Amino acid sequence: MHRAFPPLIEGKPDILILGTFPSPLSREKSEYYGNPQNKFWRIIFDVFNVEFVDPSYDEKKNVLYNNGVALWDVVESCDIDGALDKNIKSPVYNAGLPEFIKSNGIVKVLFNGKTAYELYIKGFGTIEVDQGAFCQL
């Protein structure tokens, strides 16, 4: 069974972006979205109008932190062969997510894809935020 990472959080973020589970390369590097082919970080930098020039992992995290964004995964642990979400087997849902959302005052929950959203609904049923909304990226 493979294990996910703790959340990336600093201060009291307004937004939480949820993925499914780290890829093998991400787990090897101990970095969210560690595969340089993944467009996640380029999109984040573009959304917040920050130039993307070979940033370090700390610089990537700081773009999230400086813009009130936390990052985590829906699945805490699972069996998985490769990096594709469809290969997730025996998922153990991240039981701390609902309390994390509530205790941090998260007002928007964004999912990085359909599978992350579907896994959240399967594991928790609903998403409760005080205001704002949730959506899929």
Q: Write the CATH number of the domain with boundaries 2-136.
A: 3.40.470.10
Judged by DSSP in three states, 115 sits in: helix
Question: Could you confirm whether 66 is annotated as catalytic?
Answer: no
Spatial distance between the Cα atoms of 28 and 87, rounded to a whole number of angstroms: 18
pLDDT band at 117 (very low <50, low <70, confident <90, very high): confident
Residue 75 has pLDDT above 90, yes or no: no
Residue 137 has pLDDT above 80, yes or no: no
Cα–Cα distances (Å) from 125 to 37, 105, 120, in that order, read: 32, 19, 7
Per-residue pLDDT, 63: 98
Parse the chain into domains and list their residue ranges. Answer: 2-136
Per-residue pLDDT, 134: 46
**Mean pLDDT computed over every residue of the chain:** 85
Per-residue pLDDT, 85: 64
Residue with tokens 């959080």: 9
State mean pLDDT over 85-99: 79
Residue 131 has pLDDT above 70, yes or no: no
Give the list of residues 6+ apart from residue 98 with CB closer than 8 angstroms, or none.
124, 128
Higher pLDDT, 36 or 45: 45
Which of 35, 38, 67, 104 is the catalytic position? 38
Percent of the chain with pLDDT over 70: 85
Higher pLDDT, 81 or 64: 64
